[in-house]
Amino acid sequence: DAGVIQSPRHEVTEMGQEVTLRCKPISGHNSLFWYRQTMMRGLELLIYFNNNVPIDDSGMPEDRFSAKMPNASFSTLKIQPSEPRDSAVYFCASSRTSGRSYNEQFFGPGTRLTVL
Amino acid sequence: SQKIEQNSEALNIQEGKTATLTCNYTNYSPAYLQWYRQDPGRGPVFLLLIRENEKEKRKERLKVTFDTTLKQSLFHITASQPADSATYLCALILNYGQNFVFGPGTRLSVLP
């Protein structure tokens, strides 16, 4: 298995531009997570989906952030308009869950976003 | 307020010694606690999970303890090696769901 795939790996953009980050979870996994990591705030959960449905988006910082999961094999995280304080590494992770049973999360390599 | 802390930002130990990392939390009631390893430029990698009703879990040279009274988990690496050098993150899983809260991490350096 290729693992969780994220694209792009690096993104440099200017303030005010729209940014779209992409994630392909591991086949067969039904939960998908978006995280943001910075030196100041560490690793923060932004939103997670279960069976393509957003379950908890309380970590999404502002209305400028939105996430979608149109099918089981693809998700996007969009920032519009982007600001310099959005600069961070964004991780996508997936896992297989059912009911109260828990399985480990598998993280992608991350997208390093720089907003100038 | 809710808080999750790890004992120190960085820890240096000599090869062959046991590394002990601490994770403390306040005002959370996690159903599970996990430990991850993160290398520079890469995503975290899952190491161990321990449930609220378990006291200890082992995997090869790794051992995790979980004390819900003290609200603390200890992560031990025995016979440490330079290859164990990385940042280690603890994570709380809340409400038997998928709500994860990560600690800030401890950067471990094992010196040859």
For residue range A57-102, list pLDDT tens digits in order: 989 988 999 999 999 999 999 999 999 999 999 999 999 877 666 6
Mutate to test the interface with A, among B100, B101, B102, B107 (most CBs of A within 10 A): B100
CA distance B33 to A39: 22
- Of residues B110 and B7, the one with the higher pLDDT is B110
> CA nearest A54 in B: which residue?
B98
B52-111 residue pLDDT tens:
889 899 999 999 999 999 999 999 999 999 999 999 999 998 876 667 889 999 999 999
Spatial CA neighbour of A68 closest among A34, A39, A37? A34
pLDDT of residue A104: 85
Q: Decide if A93 and B89 are in contact by the 8 Å CB cutoff.
A: no
Average pLDDT over residues B18-44: 93
Q: Which of A43, A50, A102 sits opposite B93 (nearest CB)?
A: A102
Spatial distance between the Cα atoms of B5 and B17, rounded to a whole number of angstroms: 24
- C-beta of residue B48 within 8 angstroms of C-beta of residue B62: yes
Is B46–A104 a contact, with Cβ atoms under 8 angstroms apart?
A: yes
Q: What is the pLDDT of residues A1-40, one digit of tens each?
A: 689 999 999 999 999 999 999 999 999 999 999 999 998 8
Evaluate if residue B1 carries a pLDDT over 90: no
**Confidence class for position B48, pLDDT limits 50, 70, 90:** very high
- Return the pLDDT at A90: 98
Residue spans of beta strands (DSSP E) within A1-116: 5-7, 10-13, 19-24, 31-38, 42-50, 53-56, 65-71, 74-79, 88-95, 106-107, 111-115
